[in-house]
Amino acid sequence: MAGRTALITGSAKGLGRRAALELAALGCDVALNYVASKAEAEEAAAQIEALGRRAVAIQANIAIEEEARGLVDQTVEKLGGVDILVNSAGPFIRERKLFADYSAAEIHEMMNGNLVGTMLLDHRVLPGMRARQWGRIIHFGFGHAAEARSWPHRAVYAAAKVGLVSFTRTLAAEEAPNGITVNMLCPGDIRGEFKEKGIRDVEGLADEESPRGRPGTGEDVARVIGFLCLPESDFVTGNAIEVSGGFDPIVSNVKRS
């Protein structure tokens, strides 16, 4: 993967950060993105540079069109064309509440941050990928998003991500002749510090809610991202891939109601 440039949104912390380190280990130069976590993003950039790769941390809120466009433009200016785009950023409201209780501002933020902003970023990187006849685009969803089931108390987030499933498959079909693959990762209930941990870090730890029996980690997700970005993975496109250990967030949510 040497010579490839990856842009990962929401990569100062969590799953995005772990994905950035994975792609750097495979040889990619990396553009990290953050909204408020500047120190963490710069620390991650230093880790990547220690691997012998180039890295830059760029502030941008992808829910805002001008900032999303500027994020791509700055990446191109500082690192070259975007070969890999990993859309891991996306707002999520932890509070469980009915759709009728959402404010209009919250609805716009959730839809723009999880669907519209992702589409705008994809739209911005496509010309360069087409010109090179090579590209990898990865979206983030949630467990069982491809089934478009109801998810009580998560209406707006679920609607955005389910819409992203359809967009993922449509874009994959349209861009396959150009050597561009488009896939969705659907992580399970990977929590807190585990988002940046490795699989060995959780050996011996139990998670009663996980059918697999152990906590999920950032490495579980990052390894799949690394595989999807390999040149030899060009036949894998248009998929919503579960990385959940068998966990079903919707059923779990209903049980808590």
What are the pLDDT digits (tens) for 103-133? 999 999 999 999 999 999 999 999 999 999 9
Tokens read off for 122: 């994809």
Q: Is the pTM of this model over 0.85?
A: yes
Question: For the chain, which domains are there?
Answer: 5-256 (3.40.50.720)
Report the DSSP pairing between strands 180-187 and 29-34.
unpaired
pLDDT at 252: 66
Nearest to 110 by CA among 125, 94, 123, 93: 93
Q: Report the pLDDT value the prediction gives residue 153, as an integer from 0 to 100.
A: 93
In terms of Cβ atoms closer than 10 Å to its own Cβ (0-12, 13-18, 19+), residue 145 is buried
Pairing verdict, β 180-187 and 5-9: unpaired
pLDDT band of 254, cuts 50, 70, 90: low
Q: Count the Cβ atoms, other than its own, within 10 Å of residue 204.
A: 7
User: In degrees to the nearest 10, what's the CA dihedral of 242, 247, 253, 254?
Assistant: 110
With a cut of 80, say whether residue 138 has pLDDT above it. Answer: yes
- Closest C-alpha among 235, 177, 231, 187 to residue 210: 187
210 has pLDDT over 60: yes
